[in-house]
Amino acid sequence: MKINMVNVFIRNESNYALLIHNIKHGADRWEFTGGKLESGINLEKMAVKEPFQELGIKIKLIKVNGSKIFGDYDTQTPEGPFRCRTYFAKIIEGEPEIKERDKHDAFGWFSHPALLRMKNLGILVPNLVLALPKLRVYGII
C-alpha cells in the first residue's frame, strides 16, 4: 500500500510526545497531528501543513539519526485503512491550541507510561500503538 496519510512526532524538552484527541466520526482516538494526503501536495508539505491547521503551530521537519522519517505504519481509521508516514518535527513558532473543534477537542503532552495506559484503554490509533517501542528509543520517557 502506498503512503496516503502523514503525521508528525513532536516531543518537548521534557521528552513527552504531543498528541491530539480526534473526535471526528464519534471516535475517541489519540494520535499524532496529521492527516490524509491531499492531491497536489507532497508528503513533507502536508506534514507541515496539518499541525498548523489543527493546532496553530508552525513546525519544522528535523533529522534524527540522519533521517526525517520516524517510520511508516499501517493504520485503521473509521474511513478505512491507511499507510501513514510519520516524520520527526519540532515546533518553531506558536503554542498549541485546538483550531478544528469539529475534529478535535483536546491535545496534550504524554509520557511513555501514559501512552501505555492509553494503549490498554484502546484509545491510541493503531499506527501509534505500533510506534510505541520506537518512541521509547527516541527519548519518550
Output the CA torsion 90→10→77→84 (10° steps).
Answer: 60
DSSP annotation of 11: B
pLDDT tens-digit series, residues 3-37: 899 999 999 999 999 999 999 878 789 999 999 88
What would the grid cell of residue 100 be? 478544528
What is the Cα–Cα distance from 1 to 130, expressed in whole angstroms? 17
What is the Cα–Cα distance from 97 to 81, expressed in whole angstroms? 28
In this structure, which topology does domain 5-137 adopt according to CATH? Nucleoside Triphosphate Pyrophosphohydrolase (3.90.79)
So where are the chain's domains? 5-137
pLDDT tens-digit series, residues 41-76: 899 999 999 999 999 999 999 999 999 999 999 887
DSSP annotation of 25: G
For residue 1, the model assigns a pLDDT of 67
For residue 122, the model assigns a pLDDT of 93
Least Cα distance to 130 among 75, 90, 65, 61 occurs for 75
Largest CA distance in the chain: 39
Backbone φ and ψ of 35, nearest 5°: -175, 180
Residue 89 vs residue 2, higher pLDDT: 89
SS3 call for 104: strand
pLDDT tens-digit series, residues 16-25: 999 999 998 7
Q: Is the pLDDT of residue 137 over 90?
A: no
120: confidence class by pLDDT, cuts 50, 70, 90: very high
For residue 37, the model assigns a pLDDT of 87
